[in-house]
Chain A
Amino acid sequence: MSASPTALTQPAAADPTAPLIEIRHLVKEFPVTAGAVLQRKIGSIKAVTDVSFAIAKGETFGLVGESGCGKTTIGRLLVGLEKPTSGEILFEGRDIARLSGSERRRQRRDLQLVFQDPYASLDPRMRVGTIVREPLNVQKIGTREERSARVRQLLSEVGLSPKAVDFYPHEFSGGQRQRIGLARALSLNPKLIVADEPVSALDVSIRSQILNLMNSLQKTHGLTYLVISHDLSVVKYLSDRIGVMYLGKLVEVGPSHEIYERPAHPYTQGLISAIPEPDPNRERTKDVIPIRGELPSALNPPPGCRFSTRCPRAQALCSEQEPPMRPFGPQHLAACHFPLQTPQSAA
């Protein structure tokens, strides 16, 4: 492993003090068992393998990648819904990866998650008022009246009528439900919100409402976001920096416009060129670099570089040795033996 990766992935320009959250060499493996009775372990799914990056206060960091890349798992690890197999999660300098009990509960105030599916993440039997108030109840914050007032305030902040408190989730549209999810996430005044596929389940014209809302809430509340999505256009729109993941590994990380204009990793380039743009001229003339083949198994990832089995630039070295993360510009790193840009000499 090269010199401390977090020194390289740390967003130096954004904030002179330590990052708000930093993950170091994070690993998560899910055991796979066989046999109905004995449940013996036959292997494990390497969902997240040695991932490190940092997010500065007030920044929006986007994590992008396709099925099985591990981005959702990282989101869940950050908010404590999963425990890491190894590695550290430093929040304001403290390792929160292995907190439990009351310490974990207190930590939850600072890190909240907005879930993927607005249709499944709100309890259908709870009225909206109760849903948004629940975190306040659990954390025992404020008096009954104060909580009610806060709920009404949060609902109107996300663009819903305070009257919404009396209705059930099914009486709202997908976009409105996503707003309820955001109100709930904001109730504890978190410092970091992890938004997992915040708009994927929504109609195209509703997405922009939620994206605009997320941006304005960030300004009002000084929020830090980790946005997770398979949709690179959404991630690019919201994020200051982007991390690209493939089969459990972080393959490239850097400022959004850098990633888009000068991708160093062939997978990043393939991902970008695969996105259909609403522009017929561009679509019909652009250089498409198709990524052939299928995603390998996460039970048995390919040796060396995990992308080597599908990479148009792969050579023998790629399946023998894992490529290290190297810098390609300020805060821009990628792990590739034969990258698309010239690496900088180490700073």
Chain B
Amino acid sequence: MASLLEISNLKTYIRLRNTEVRAVDGVSLSIDAGETLGLVGESGCGKTMTGMSIVQLLPSGGYIASGSIRLGDKELVGLSDRELRQIRGNDVAVIFQDPMTSLNPTMQVGIQIAESVRIHRGANKAQAMKRAEEVLGLVGMPRPRERLKDYPHQLSGGLRQRVMIAMALSCEPKLLIADEPTTALDVTIQLQILELLYELKQRLHMAVLLITHDMGVIAGRADRVIVMYAGKIVESAATTELFSGTRHPYTEALLSSIPRMDQDEATPLYSIPGLPPDLSHPPEWCRFQPRCRYATAQCHEEEPLLRADTPGHEFACFNPVSGHTLHRGAA
């Protein structure tokens, strides 16, 4: 069965005054209906740009240089603005880290939720408000009818995030792109929101692209994980496989640098020396090489391509780590 979303060799670049940043430099992935795919990496790795390329909400100067993005049987790259607007909010919805930047501060939240329903489903004002109240209830908002008249600033961070989720789900999209949806929230509220997303995903049989830097969130919520570094995919596997059978040195380094609650505090954490490469002039060899503790001469000459030793587990490395890695402390 064909997947819901299929990205092939996507290259998304950002044109700046004097240079061009190759933010996403040849990324391919697929998401099946109802699946949660985690896209993880640190700032600048290209994970947000990959997600935003799907709905073409790119920053100024950003453009898709090449590649294909298929949603079902529809090719999204090359669609006109009008055609894209029919897909955004309808088939594909997005929720962001900071609800304040995506909620209109001058409009009541009920109207903002209803707007999506009116545009995509052609409902009238009354029907749309009814649906808005329904969706607010679905996202666990206490006393939804009263909340319809609230303005965003009257709500806490967690409640605003629920409003954003309500807006995103009002038209029952097939795919939800969640870009750091809980990063700005308190940890107890984060748990509430993640539980809510999971529940809604099950109920609506919705696929989720969960973009985050938080390996803990990924561990608990993603079915499969893709790790990105410097605009490329370095490892891709089912979640349990990624953690217990890590192959790429970057993934291993990342996991070793996180303090865990059951950590032995006497052991120093592993820290990755150096910084990611400049993506306006990326090297033609392995992008992680200068910071990799296992690098060999080959790593400085050629670029490793993604390959799989076991089905479903791909990694791009000439010297992959063995599999049962020590995630605690410096190796």
* A and B interact physically: yes
Given A203-B42, A230-B186, A283:B269 Cβ within 8 A: no
A272 and B188 contact, CB distance less than 8 A? no
The residues of B that contact A270 with a CB separation of less than 8 Å are 188
A204 within 8 A of B: yes
Given A203-B42, A280-B219, A274:B259 Cβ within 8 A: no
B186 and A205 contact, CB distance less than 8 A? no
B10-52 contact mask (Cβ, 8 Å, vs A): 1 or 0: 0000000000000000000000000000000011000000000
A204 and B215 contact, CB distance less than 8 A? yes
Given A212-B268, A236-B259, A271-B188, A205:B216 Cβ within 8 A: no
Which residues of chain B from 195 to 221 have any CB-CB distance to chain A below 8 Å in the complex? 195, 213-220
Docked CA distance A205–B257 (Å): 6
Docked CA distance A211–B195 (Å): 31
A280 and B271 contact, CB distance less than 8 A? no
B269 and A280 contact, CB distance less than 8 A? no
A317 within 8 A of B: no
Which residues of chain B from 254 to 292 have any CB-CB distance to chain A below 8 Å in the complex? 254-255, 257-263, 265, 268-272, 275
The residues of A that contact B7 with a CB separation of less than 8 Å are none
The residues of A that contact B265 with a CB separation of less than 8 Å are 236-238, 256
- Select the residue from B157, B213, B215, B216 with max chain A CB neighbours within 10 A: B216
Q: Is the interface of A mostly helix, strand, loop or mixed?
A: helix
Instruction: Report the interface size for chain B: residues with CB under 8 A from the other chain.
Output: 45
B261 and A233 contact, CB distance less than 8 A? yes
B191 within 8 A of A: yes
Please give me the residue from chain B that is nearest to A279 by CB atom. B219
Please give me the residue from chain A that is nearest to B157 by CB atom. A67
Given A275-B187, A278-B215, A215:B259 Cβ within 8 A: no
Which residues of chain A from 197 to 227 have any CB-CB distance to chain B below 8 Å in the complex? 203-209, 211-212, 215
A288 within 8 A of B: yes
A276 within 8 A of B: yes
Given A277-B261, A294-B158, A66:B42 Cβ within 8 A: no
Q: Among the listed A173, A212, A279, A292, which residue makes an inter-chain contact with B271, where contact means beta carbons less than 8 Å apart?
A: A212
A237 and B259 contact, CB distance less than 8 A? yes
The residues of A that contact B189 with a CB separation of less than 8 Å are 66, 294
Please give me the residue from chain B that is nearest to A293 by CB atom. B142
Q: Among the listed B240, B258, B259, B272, which residue makes an inter-chain contact with A280, where contact means beta carbons less than 8 Å apart?
A: B240
Q: Among the listed B157, B188, B216, B275, which residue makes an inter-chain contact with A278, where contact means beta carbons less than 8 Å apart?
A: B216
A233 and B258 contact, CB distance less than 8 A? yes
The residues of B that contact A203 with a CB separation of less than 8 Å are 42-43, 213
B261 and A208 contact, CB distance less than 8 A? no
Please give me the residue from chain B that is nearest to A236 by CB atom. B261
Q: Among the listed A66, A205, A207, A237, which residue makes an inter-chain contact with B187, where contact means beta carbons less than 8 Å apart?
A: A66
Docked CA distance A67–B157 (Å): 10
B5 within 8 A of A: no
B188 and A276 contact, CB distance less than 8 A? no
The residues of B that contact A233 with a CB separation of less than 8 Å are 258-261, 263
Q: Among the listed A232, A256, A276, A281, which residue makes an inter-chain contact with B214, where contact means beta carbons less than 8 Å apart?
A: A276
The residues of A that contact B194 with a CB separation of less than 8 Å are 276
The residues of B that contact A271 with a CB separation of less than 8 Å are 187-188
A215 and B243 contact, CB distance less than 8 A? no
The residues of B that contact A94 with a CB separation of less than 8 Å are none
Could you tell me the distance in whole angstroms from the C-beta of A45 to the nearest C-beta in chain B? 15
Which residues of chain B from 138 to 158 have any CB-CB distance to chain A below 8 Å in the complex? 156-158
Docked CA distance A279–B214 (Å): 12
Docked CA distance A211–B268 (Å): 9
B195 and A276 contact, CB distance less than 8 A? no
The residues of A that contact B244 with a CB separation of less than 8 Å are 280
B216 and A276 contact, CB distance less than 8 A? yes
A295 within 8 A of B: yes
A145-176 contact mask (Cβ, 8 Å, vs B): 1 or 0: 00000000000000000000000000001000
A230 and B261 contact, CB distance less than 8 A? no
Please give me the residue from chain A that is nearest to B140 by CB atom. A292
Which residues of chain A from 274 to 307 have any CB-CB distance to chain B below 8 Å in the complex? 274-284, 288, 290-292, 294-295
A204 and B42 contact, CB distance less than 8 A? yes
Docked CA distance A328–B27 (Å): 54
Which residues of chain A from 42 to 85 have any CB-CB distance to chain B below 8 Å in the complex? 66-67
- Select the residue from A204, A206, A234, A280 with max chain B CB neighbours within 10 A: A280
Q: Among the listed B186, B192, B269, B271, which residue makes an inter-chain contact with A67, where contact means beta carbons less than 8 Å apart?
A: B186
Could you tell me the distance in whole angstroms from the C-beta of B222 to the nearest C-beta in chain A? 9
B190 within 8 A of A: yes
Q: Among the listed A209, A232, A274, A284, which residue makes an inter-chain contact with B191, where contact means beta carbons less than 8 Å apart?
A: A274
Which residues of chain B from 223 to 245 have any CB-CB distance to chain A below 8 Å in the complex? 239-240, 243-244
The residues of B that contact A119 with a CB separation of less than 8 Å are none
The residues of B that contact A173 with a CB separation of less than 8 Å are 275
A281 and B240 contact, CB distance less than 8 A? yes
A260 within 8 A of B: yes
The residues of A that contact B135 with a CB separation of less than 8 Å are none
By a beta-carbon cutoff of 8 Å, the part of chain A in contact with chain B is 66-67, 173, 203-209, 211-212, 215, 230-234, 236-238, 256, 260, 270-272, 274-284, 288, 290-292, 294-295
Other 11 A-B pairs with CB < 8 A, given A236-B261, A271-B187, A295-B156: A203-B213, A205-B254, A215-B268, A233-B258, A237-B269, A272-B261, A274-B188, A277-B216, A278-B327, A280-B220, A288-B191
Could you jot down 15 A-B contacts, CB within 8 Å?
A173-B275, A204-B213, A208-B257, A208-B258, A236-B259, A238-B265, A260-B261, A274-B191, A275-B187, A276-B216, A276-B217, A276-B219, A277-B260, A278-B258, A283-B219
